[in-house]
Amino acid sequence: MRHATLAGRTMAFADHGDRPPLLLVHGFPLDHSLWLPQLDALSATRRVIAPDLAGFGATGGAGHESLDGHADDLAALLDHLGIDRAVVNGLSMGGYIAFAFWRRHRARVAGLVLTCTRAAADSEAARAGRYQSIVSIEADGVGPLADAMVPKLVTPAAPADVRSMVDAMVRRQPARGVADALRAMSARPDSTPDLAGITVPTLVVAGADDVIVPAAEAAAMAAAIPGAGLVTIPGAGHLANLEEPGAYNAALRAFLERVDATV
């Protein structure tokens, strides 16, 4: 892991390979290790950067009240690395942050990959669930959240080593950062109005068996983005990149080659 001090906060990030840059934004309540199969497979042909977002992993500390703060951290990280534009790939919460990044820093986006994510804001019921989780985390730590979430993050058919890796990843996240992210996600705006104005090459990736973001919802989002591609990964749940890395990496590689051809 490398470290960069950005606006008084030290951010930890993996940085493998050489250009062109691909920025990988992890989901909730995870860290950069979500992307290990992509760091391994893609760094032979590009520079793969995967931070631990504020509040998570080796970055830790406080999170942000708004996902905009995470988007601004990513822009500051690119500044620090001397990178003007990158393909930005966000999974789930990482996708919400990718939308915020698009709104705030679109000149820095060479292409977008929206993995197992949605454009809609939280429903009232989803917000209420997040507040309950915050109360539980503040009382009992992240263990109960891990018990509830891990079975939704991966399919029942996931290999035992993948399931235990995800379980350990969730359990090691700092309670404060997890609670801060729940608050920030509950406050996020609806990104649906932004979809028609996305002008960079975009790929939507769905897990066919994702129970958090149904594949049909991801398909509807792809249809609303001009020219976006859609790949639905058979046998994959919410963490499609980790559960089916072969199919996921093939889809990502094909998309990145298409982006390379446009610049």
Name the site residues for ligand MLT (rule: CB under 6 A).
27-28, 92-93, 185, 212, 238
Give CA–CA dist 164/16, Å, rounded: 25
Compare residues 28 and 101 and give the one whose CB is closer to ligand MLT: 28
Contact 177, 55 (CB under 8 A): yes
For β-strands 21-25 and 86-91, DSSP reports them as parallel
Identity at 136, one-letter amino acid code: S
- Residue closer to ligand MLT by CB (options 92, 232) is 92
Min dist. Cβ of residue 178 to ligand MLT (A): 11
- Are the CB atoms for 51 and 79 separated by under 8 Å? no
Minimum distance from residue 212 beta carbon to ligand MLT (Å): 5
3-state secondary structure of 176: helix
Q: How far is CA 246 from the centre of its chain?
A: 18
Q: Which is nearer to ligand MLT, 170 or 230 (CB)?
A: 170
What is the nearest approach in angstroms of ligand MLT to the Cβ of residue 58? Answer: 18
Q: What angle do CA 175, 27, 99 make, to 5 degrees?
A: 120
What token pair was written down for 8?
A: 């008084």
Q: How far is the CB of 238 from ligand MLT (least distance, A)?
A: 6
CB closer to ligand MLT, 46 vs 70: 70
For the chain, counts of helices (H) and of strands (E)? 11, 8
Q: Which helix (H) or strand (E) holds 235?
A: none
Amino acid residing at 68: D
Give me the least distance between CB of 260 and ligand MLT, in Å please.
28
- Residue 81 or 212: the one with the smaller Cβ distance to ligand MLT is 212
Which 3 state secondary structure label does DSSP give 81?
A: helix
> Which residue has tokens 């996240």?
173
C-beta of 153: minimal distance to ligand MLT in Å?
7
In the bound state with ligand MLT, the residue whose beta carbon lies nearer, of 20 and 29, is 29
